[in-house]
């Protein structure tokens, strides 16, 4: 497949990372596909990496439930994650909230619906291995 073309949102181009892609990038890069790693590195070099703010909550929840151990407390890990990749944290807007409830997103996980809606609204590719999200015709995915 050809290289990833980033969508323009205002004056910024972005590549949105799903929650697991954020975690893999930080703690287990080998779990990312070669295509995902290349897209992330390219976007990071241009300061064009982004995530939905709900991903930060998901990561904090995983740490609190002992399902993820980054070797530091959740607050420090999230701050380091954002700073290391100069992540743009995209907020859940009213448009995203409404869009996430549309029939375009037949996904049972509310966080995944919000992440997909964020990518769609920003016309940005989404780095995800989630098969349900990758099947959506409305968004471009990278894996």
Query: pLDDT for 116-126, tens place per residue?
Result: 999 999 999 99
Contact between 44 and 6 (Cβ < 8 Å): no
Residue 136 has pLDDT above 70, yes or no: yes
For range 79-95, the mean pLDDT: 96
Q: Tokens representing 80? A: 């380091």
Q: pLDDT, tens digit, for every residue of 4-61?
A: 444 444 435 899 999 999 999 999 999 999 999 999 999 999 999 999 999 999 999 9
Contact between 43 and 3 (Cβ < 8 Å): no
Give φ, ψ of 135 to 5 degrees: -80, -15
pLDDT of residue 94: 95
First to last CA, the chain: 11
Contact between 99 and 106 (Cβ < 8 Å): no
Look up the pTM and report it: 0.89
| CATH, domain range 8-142 | 3.40.50.1010
pLDDT of residue 137: 85
pLDDT of residue 9: 45
pLDDT of residue 11: 37
Q: Which residue has the higher pLDDT, 133 or 127?
A: 127
């Amino acid at each position: 497949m050809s290289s990833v073309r980033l969508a323009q949102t205002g004056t910024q181009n972005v590549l949105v990372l799903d929650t697991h892609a954020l975690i893999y990038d930080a703690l287990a890069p080998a779990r990312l596909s070669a295509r995902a790693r290349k897209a992330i590195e390219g976007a990071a070099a241009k300061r064009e990496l982004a995530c939905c703010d709900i991903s930060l909550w998901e990561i904090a929840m995983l740490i609190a439930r002992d399902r993820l151990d980054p070797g530091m407390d959740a607050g420090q890990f999230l701050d380091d994650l954002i700073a290391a990749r100069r992540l743009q944290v995209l907020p859940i807007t009213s448009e995203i909230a409404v869009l996430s409830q549309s029939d375009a997103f037949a996904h049972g996980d509310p966080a995944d619906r919000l992440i997909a809606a964020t990518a769609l609204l920003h016309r940005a590719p989404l780095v995800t291995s989630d098969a349900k999200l990758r099947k959506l015709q409305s968004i471009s995915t990278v894996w």
